[in-house]
Structure 1
Amino acid sequence: MIKYFLLLFLPILLSANLTYVFNHNKEVALLESFDIEASFLYDPIMNQMKTKKSTIKKNKYFFKAMDEAYTFIPAIKSILAKHGIPPEFLYLAMAESNFSTRAYSKKRASGLWQFMPATGKIYGLKIDEYVDERRDLIKSTEAAAKYLSQLHKRFGKWYLAAIAYNCGGGRLNNAIRKAGSDELSILLDPKKKYIPRESRFYIRKIVALAMIGQDEQFLMHSEYEHLLNRANAYSISTVRLSSGDSIRRLSKMIGIPLIELKKLNRHLKYDFVPPYAKGYDVYIPYIKLNEFKRKYTPEPMKNIYKVHVVKSGDNLSKIGKRYGVSYRVIKDFNKLKNYRLSLRQRLIIPIDSRIKSKKIDTRHYYMVKKGDTLESISKAYKVSVQNLKLQNHLRGSLIRIGDRLKINE
């Protein structure tokens, strides 16, 4: 009987043991990619994070975020690999923004990798009237990869690069000097507080997320099994539109819903690309690339947008208010060297050409003036601040003179 029992259950016990060894080895290899010693597997706070996030509800939330980023995760991995950065740093982006290109913090950090404006500009990200490339999933990842590479070159270990990304190289350098060591176990000392509490939890969070992300057993028995089959090649393509071209026109041309096109191009502040002389790159699904090549031809802006003929008494500010468009945008689209206009001058107004030439109802749009705040506008129009933020896709309370705000839907 005992012999029969052993024959029946021995394969199961062996399988369970092999699975444990396999998972253990994978976790050790993951730590090695961060230059972290295997003993960190027993860090109680990291394991608590892992266990907490591994509950059914939290796990589904985790993989839902992975699923929504399905289209561009291969692109992120390819860029990290190009710069010699371990693929596990993908989870640094998840820790920063939960893979949301629209993420915006109280400290004004924005995008997938949560760049501050000054740091973003140092690494070549453009932030102006038309774009915020901190939200550009490709350019921001290139910038983050360059930044992480420099931090690794400076500190010599990948876990130090990750910590420095969070608290700053100068602060980490001071912490190492005070501790007399760059060992992770020493830097994480909660009593000595060599690095900020946020950073002590930050590196643990990245490791915990990476371990959950490689949990193939969960994936195989869930609705997210398809994530296992995700290709490593790019699933998005970069295409160039001519100066000021409409992405609404592009969406119709290649047959992709405008909302999906916007998800890939969160860095665009308007429904058109900037009126830069050389045009501007946008992203489309890879499967639409051939269709784009067949169908796309630059179109004169007068055929896409509204044309306004200047009348007596007109000025850029007045015209802008009429159409709900910033006067600066009108100036740029028409390549005006100054603000002077002449009678019967024809101006391109970047709104749909089918919109009638009547004044836009101010109940629906408002042009921000000097001294305006979201609070003052909400009181004037009896609309909540939260409503204004939702309608205008605002993460914070920052608005600028000339901005066009939607008042109600």
Structure 2
Amino acid sequence: MQNPLLMKFPWTIVAVLAVNSLSATPKTETPASVEHATFNSRWSASIESEVKERIMRLNIPFKVRYDEEVSSTIKEYVTNGYRDTELMLGRTSAYFPIFEHYLNVYGLPKELRYLPIVETGLNIKAYSGAGAAGLWQFIAPSARMYGLEVNHTVDERFDAYRATEAAVSMLARLHSHYKDWSLVLAAYNCGPARVNAAIREAGCRDFYTVANYLPQETQHYIPRFIAAAYITNYHKHHGISPRYKGAFGKPLRGVKLFESYTIGEVAHASGVPVEVLRQLNPAYRRSIIPANERGHYLLLPASGLRGLKGLVSARSGRFDHGHRLLYPNAFELAYVVKPGESIEEIASRYNCTVQEIAAWNQLSEEEVFVNQEVTLYVAELIAPIKP
């Protein structure tokens, strides 16, 4: 995995200077000086002291230390690299709910959601020189070991759902061995063999001591994780706001497709542009979603879900069986699954059974996933739980 500051954030600034030496008008402030003023407003000695205090308030599942590495990384986030930071923050709206869902399902700390920021800056199309790919930077052998499909048609390392579950499964397995999240993250970055060797060399299991015997990139990993957690929580204190590009920032829905579709067919039925579908679903290399018994995930703007459902019904032969007629006195509710929710929790909340939810929505398995929209028939409307 490459140095995150090199691979994920190019930190480039283009200064445009407009100078007219023949003009007699008073000299005005140039874009470069505006940039410099912005730089100073986002980072100074007084600001850094406040940053240190906030760092100590972060809820992170390991010992937090504020050092030069943490400071310099945050400084890059809020000064030279603030434009990239804004775009990265804009992508959290799409990916954090998926991360939180699987972290909850596996019983892991939700703060691990910051890990892909360190890995890729939340760039789902990231591909390293070592062959690591996707948000969680799996190399192909590890991806296949954790059940991901990697071939010429589909590469699930670029599937936000599948890759996240695989990564969370790996993190759970590493934690069962190390019982220390800082060592888990180190092992995720450089591999358990190197971490085990470093522990033996250090003669202890304290990360900040063990780090001296780890590869240089891994030494930086925990400080950069702390910086990623900081900028996600406190970016507003530096005048930075999420910036949305394409589908990011819009309500999204997840569906699971079992039959074969082309991205073009999905775009035509849903009304979602092809480029937006490709932005959200880069796992489908040839713009084809192959048929699959376990299903392939598709992420799309909520506005396109209704049209897609019509295509899916026609292709699969599974149509609405008139449940509305069977429950004439019930309210029909379109419910969107929240991060970490299970079908059992939804059934209990709305006083119905798991089997009924599966039947109403023609689910092949009695399970649900975040961003999935399910139809419920309920005796009374209940305010949905806020995510």
- Which range, TM-score by smaller chain? 0.5 to 0.7
- Alignment partners' CA distance in 2, 1:182 and 1:278: 41
SS in structure 2 of the partner of residue 101 of structure 1:
coil
- Partner residue of 1:264? 280
- Alignment partners' CA distance in 1, 2:294 and 2:161: 19
Q: Percent identity?
A: 26
Do 1:121 and 1:127's aligned partners in 2 also have CA atoms closer than 8 Å? Answer: yes
SS in structure 1 of the partner of residue 255 of structure 2:
strand
Q: Does 1:182 align with 2:205?
A: yes
Matches within 5 A, 1:179-258: 179-189=202-212, 194-218=213-237, 221-224=239-242, 235-243=252-260, 245-258=261-274
Matches within 5 A, 1:17-28: 26-28=54-56
- Alignment partners' CA distance in 1, 2:236 and 2:130: 38
Matches within 5 A, 1:125-144: 125-144=148-167
- Alignment partners' CA distance in 2, 1:234 and 1:139: 20
Q: Does 1:274 align with 2:302?
A: no
TM-score, with length taken from structure 2: 0.62
- Partner residue of 2:61? 34
User: Pairwise CA RMSD of aligned residues?
Assistant: 3.0
Q: Does 1:45 align with 2:73?
A: no
- Alignment partners' CA distance in 2, 1:111 and 1:283: 15
Give how far 1:279 is off.
6.1
Do 2:251 and 2:301's aligned partners in 1 also have CA atoms closer than 8 Å? Answer: no
Matches within 5 A, 1:315-330: none
Give how far 1:294 is off.
4.0
Q: Give the 3 Å change call, closer, same or farther, for CA 264–35 of structure 1 in structure 2.
A: same
- Alignment partners' CA distance in 1, 2:177 and 2:297: 33
- Alignment partners' CA distance in 2, 1:59 and 1:154: 38
SS in structure 2 of the partner of residue 284 of structure 1:
strand
Do 1:95 and 1:206's aligned partners in 2 also have CA atoms closer than 8 Å? Answer: yes
Q: Give the 3 Å change call, closer, same or farther, for CA 167–279 of structure 1 in structure 2.
A: closer
**1:242 partner letter:** E
Q: Deviations over 1:110-167 (max 9, x none)?
A: 1111101110011100112310111111100000001011111111111111110011
Q: Give the 3 Å change call, closer, same or farther, for CA 235–22 of structure 1 in structure 2.
A: farther
Do 1:241 and 1:281's aligned partners in 2 also have CA atoms closer than 8 Å? Answer: no
- Partner residue of 1:360? none
SS in structure 1 of the partner of residue 256 of structure 2:
strand
The structure with higher relative contact order (CA 8 Å, sep 6+) is 2
- Partner residue of 1:341? none
Q: Deviations over 1:354-391 (max 9, x none)?
A: xxxxxxxxxxxxxxxxxxxxxxxxxxxxxxxxxxxxxx
Question: Any unmatched runs of 5+ in structure 2?
Answer: 1-46, 317-387
- Alignment partners' CA distance in 2, 1:128 and 1:225: 33
- Alignment partners' CA distance in 1, 2:106 and 2:313: 35
- Alignment partners' CA distance in 1, 2:121 and 2:294: 33
- Alignment partners' CA distance in 1, 2:218 and 2:119: 12
- Alignment partners' CA distance in 1, 2:109 and 2:159: 21
Do 2:103 and 2:110's aligned partners in 1 also have CA atoms closer than 8 Å? Answer: yes
Q: Give the 3 Å change call, closer, same or farther, for CA 88–281 of structure 1 in structure 2.
A: closer
Do 1:253 and 1:296's aligned partners in 2 also have CA atoms closer than 8 Å? Answer: no
TM-score, with length taken from structure 1: 0.59
- Alignment partners' CA distance in 2, 1:278 and 1:80: 21
Q: Give the 3 Å change call, closer, same or farther, for CA 225–25 of structure 1 in structure 2.
A: farther
Q: Which runs of 4+ in 1 moved over 4 A?
A: 19-26, 275-279
Q: Give the 3 Å change call, closer, same or farther, for CA 49–109 of structure 1 in structure 2.
A: same
- Alignment partners' CA distance in 1, 2:205 and 2:153: 43
Do 1:67 and 1:224's aligned partners in 2 also have CA atoms closer than 8 Å? Answer: yes
**2:166 partner letter:** A
- Alignment partners' CA distance in 2, 1:104 and 1:134: 10
- Alignment partners' CA distance in 1, 2:156 and 2:270: 24
- Partner residue of 1:377? none
Do 1:131 and 1:269's aligned partners in 2 also have CA atoms closer than 8 Å? Answer: yes
Q: Deviations over 1:236-263 (max 9, x none)?
A: 31231523x2221111111101111111
SS in structure 1 of the partner of residue 86 of structure 2:
helix
Give how far 1:187 is off.
1.8
Question: Any unmatched runs of 5+ in structure 1?
Answer: 1-18, 301-409
